[in-house]
Amino acid sequence: MARWHHDRGLQWRMGVTLILLMFVYLVFITVLAYIGVETLFLLAIVAVMLFFQYYFSDRMVLWSMGARVVTEEEEPRLYQVITRLCAVAGMTRPRIAIVNTTVPNAFATGRNPRNAVVAVTTGLVNRLEPEELEAVIAHELSHVKNRDVMVITLASFLSTAAFFIFRNWFFFGASPRSDRNSYLWWILPLVALAVWITSYLLIQALSRYREFSADRGSAVITGHPSHLASALMKISGQMERLPTEDLRKVEGMNAFFIIPAVSGSTIFHLFATHPPVEQRIAALEQIEREMGG
């Protein structure tokens, strides 16, 4: 494996983030157990929520974005591009969906490579050169290959639980288990809020790192970091010049994912979330230098 295929620094940061997240969750569970919340019952509720999200998120996301899964006959070129990239990456080919909007964007969804769908907007297809489009698709394939939906779903499991407690505190508040801990009972929403905020920030960081990873993955699969860099430049430039109508439409799409568990786990935008494009382009240029050396 070529040296430029990996970024040890990035993997360290990701590891540290995961450890911190586990630590926050451990503290949270300890507090819950000490206060005497029916932890198992709570976790069961969250597990069921996440199970549905995990299994139905792909269809939900595609539906909410107005994405239509297309066949190979309808989009032979796109399928040829994705077929070849998958052959290089040694992975099962996901299906392709098209979103009919001028906003250039792409996303990947699906709980595993077999169920994955890579969606591109017509704006993206029309505006990018073939090799730039290929790089964007490779970025999405990396998300699929790295199982980002699963990783973030698991990472946000207790974060969702904390949010759930905070929001439904009155429901829990109505039935404190024992008098001994009744004063602790009132601390519960504060703890839940603190856990939710810290884990939210950590999950945000994690998903940014995974964006960088997918950018590198695109460079690894296509062998051309510069193609993704120019695609990102083009998309970000186009974004600013678009009519407000379309921007509002984009905003509307983002508004759908308000609670953190959904915002992070079900969807990986090429563009809509952090990190800033300049940083991503700088990272890609760095990969290009590593390749030469």
Partner 1 sequence: MGLKDALNALFGRTTLPRADLDSLFAVSTAAVTMQTSLGLKPSGRAGICFKPIESSRHDAAVSEIEDLLGFASAETGSEYRIETDEYGFIWVVLEDPDFDDLITGVHLVAQTLIEHAFGTYLLCAVYRFENSKPVYWIYSFKAGRYYPFVPEGQMKRDNGYEFRLRSLLERELPLEKDVEKWYPLWGLPL
139 labeled part of a ligand binding site: yes
Neighbours of 225 (CB within 10 A): 25
245 labeled part of a ligand binding site: no
Render 9-76 in DSSP notation, one character per residue: HHHHHHHHHHHHHHHHHHHHHHHHHHHT--HHHHHHHHHHHHHHHHHHHHHHHHHHHTEEEE-TTT-H
Q: Does 269 bind partner 1 (CB under 8 A)?
A: no
For residues 96-120, one letter each, b for 16 or more C-beta atoms within 10 angstroms of the residue's C-beta and e for the rest, the string is bbbbebbbbbbbbbbbebebbbbbb
**DSSP character for 7?**
-
269 labeled part of a ligand binding site: no
Q: Does 72 bind partner 1 (CB under 8 A)?
A: yes
Question: Which tokens hold the place of 263?
Answer: 């915002």
Residue 79's alpha-carbon distances to 70, 93, 98, 120, in angstroms, are: 10, 9, 12, 12
Closest CB 247 distance from partner 1, rounded Å = 30
Q: Does 6 bind partner 1 (CB under 8 A)?
A: yes
Q: Does 11 bind partner 1 (CB under 8 A)?
A: yes
Q: Which of residues 87-116 bind partner 1 (CB under 8 A)?
A: 87-90, 92-93
Neighbours of 178 (CB within 10 A): 10
Let me know if 245 is a catalytic residue: no
Q: Does 216 bind partner 1 (CB under 8 A)?
A: yes
Q: Compare residues 30 and 92 and give the one whose CB is closer to partner 1.
A: 92
> Among 83, 126, 178, 254, which residue interacts with partner 1 (rule: CB under 8 A)?
83
Binding site for partner 1 (CB under 8 A): 1-2, 5-6, 10-11, 14-15, 18, 72-73, 76, 80-81, 83-84, 86-90, 92-93, 130-131, 134, 142, 145-148, 150-151, 209-210, 213-214, 216-217, 220-226, 288, 291-292
- Binding residues, as ranges, are 139, 143, 211
Active site residues: 140
- Binding residues for Zn(2+), as ranges, are 139, 143, 211
